[in-house]
Amino acid sequence: MRAMSKTALMTHILHRQTGHAYPTAASGRGVTLRDADGKEYIDASGGAAVSCLGHGHPDVLAAMHAQIDRLAYAHTSFFTTQVAEELADDLVAHAPNGIGHVFYVSGGSEAIEAALKLARQYFVERGEPQRRYLIARRQSYHGITLGALAIGGREWQRAPFAPLLIETHHVSPAYEYRGRRADETPEAYGERLADELEAKIAELGGSNVIAFVAEPIVGATLGAVPAVPGYFKRVREICDRHGILLILDEVMCGMGRTGTLHACEQEGISPDLMAIAKGLGGGYAPIGALLMRDKIFDAVAGGSGAFQHSHTYMGHPLACSAALAVQRVIRRDDLLANVRQQGAYLSRRLKERFGNHPFVGDVRGRGLFQGLELVADRDSKQPFDPSLKLHAHVKHEAMARGLMVYPTGGSLDGASGDNVLLAPPFIIDAAVVDTIVERLGEAVDAATAQAS
């Protein structure tokens, strides 16, 4: 870690970590961020899977300039705006089957909070107020506000706030690298997990459960872990059988990151509610959205007529203009084709570089959403001692080499387990992929050499 500097001590911001001297980001262009000292960093993580178009995209900036000159803000209890309507039309036109409306928010946690409350209100409107349980998965991340934290499965973040969290129930994630038994096919493993969900529902009583919540590809907590084949189809079928809503959290893995606009397209299913954020606005403005099936909108519209939930900045015109421009550029420039092409190349290069690395147990992911799992021993899959904070060292070594990646720790039990997540902008080319892999290789070598 960088030594604590005078500037760090003098800041009036409660930064993510006190005592850590963050470089000052001064400008950004394309895949590169530059700090105030002129040092450049390739943004191979898009921040946290946010900057899907990279930095300073001229079309997005032009759309935002035009919007702010016209109208910066109008409160949604008084007005709708053309740009918010156009974005909703756009999102619905490209949404999974059955999705007809959107609810705007300003980020991922807000989208999840809205999902939990709308799911509950749906059943209240329908005369099923006994439905009160939420089921989610261990080793997941759904956001940091109290409801999102409650359903999430990051123990180290939940523990200090446990007395404040609503009751939630957790089942196993689809985590093939550690969860599948040697005598199981991936499909049989998926069946076993679906059976576990079914057993949890039976324990709680099917007519008492509101929703099952899952990330189609587990992002920050596990490092880009896709489900095994067939798992989500079984989950969808189980939810339908019990009248339980399926809430998909595509805050990180959605909006093109895995090569299709929505990650669930590759699972062949459609959710009842879906949270999107990050890549929606690409970092140009804070925006998230909750996409909902018609039956949910209809229950509210035909019932009380109002979702009991709102925020001051929902549907902010500037944020909507940014998101609309981001989505139009992705389509105009056929960037999802580039996500698939460069994603395949990145995956191949990572496997070449780390496939036999003594301290990399697994390389996985989809599209431009790839992860490495770091282990002290490949055969036993033994994680590194958490006190080494290997993930933090990888980040530091990468930053020193002009590379931004997104490592996390504590993925196994809240303490041990180190991953590195990559989520570069969709505008990336093969030469940049090569540089990312080269710098990441050096960073992982340097960090693991210190730790082993």
What does the binding site for ligand PLP look like in residue numbers (CB under 6 A)? 48, 107-109, 112, 141-144, 215, 219-220, 249, 251-252, 277
Return the residue matching tokens 């899977």: 49
Smaller CB distance to ligand PLP: residue 204 or 245?
245
> Shortest Cβ distance from residue 106 to ligand PLP (Å)?
8
> Shortest Cβ distance from residue 246 to ligand PLP (Å)?
15
Smaller CB distance to ligand PLP: residue 108 or 190?
108
Smaller CB distance to ligand PLP: residue 142 or 293?
142
* 90: phi then psi, degrees, rounded to nearest 5: -65, -45
> Shortest Cβ distance from residue 291 to ligand PLP (Å)?
14
Do 215 and 253 contact (CB within 8 A), yes or no? yes
> Shortest Cβ distance from residue 46 to ligand PLP (Å)?
11
> Shortest Cβ distance from residue 191 to ligand PLP (Å)?
25
Helix (H, G, I), strand (E, B) or coil at 349: helix
> Shortest Cβ distance from residue 140 to ligand PLP (Å)?
7
Residues 329 and 90: their CA atoms lie apart, in Å, by: 13
Do 67 and 83 contact (CB within 8 A), yes or no? yes
Residues 237 and 249: their CA atoms lie apart, in Å, by: 18
Q: Which DSSP string corresponds to 400-443?
A: HTTEE-EEEE-TTTSSS-EEEEE---TT--HHHHHHHHHHHHHH
Do 376 and 358 contact (CB within 8 A), yes or no? no
> Shortest Cβ distance from residue 287 to ligand PLP (Å)?
10
Smaller CB distance to ligand PLP: residue 252 or 432?
252
- Which 8-state DSSP code applies to residue 228? P
Residue nearest to ligand PLP (CB): 108
Smaller CB distance to ligand PLP: residue 198 or 215?
215
CA distances from 305 to 125, 200, 302 (A): 10, 33, 6
| Radius of gyration for the alpha carbons in the chain, expressed in angstroms and rounded | 22
Smaller CB distance to ligand PLP: residue 277 or 374?
277
> Shortest Cβ distance from residue 259 to ligand PLP (Å)?
18
Helix (H, G, I), strand (E, B) or coil at 383: coil
The count of other CB atoms within 10 Å of the CB of residue 131 is: 23
Give the end-to-end CA distance of the chain in Å, rounded to a whole number.
Answer: 18
Smaller CB distance to ligand PLP: residue 166 or 306?
166
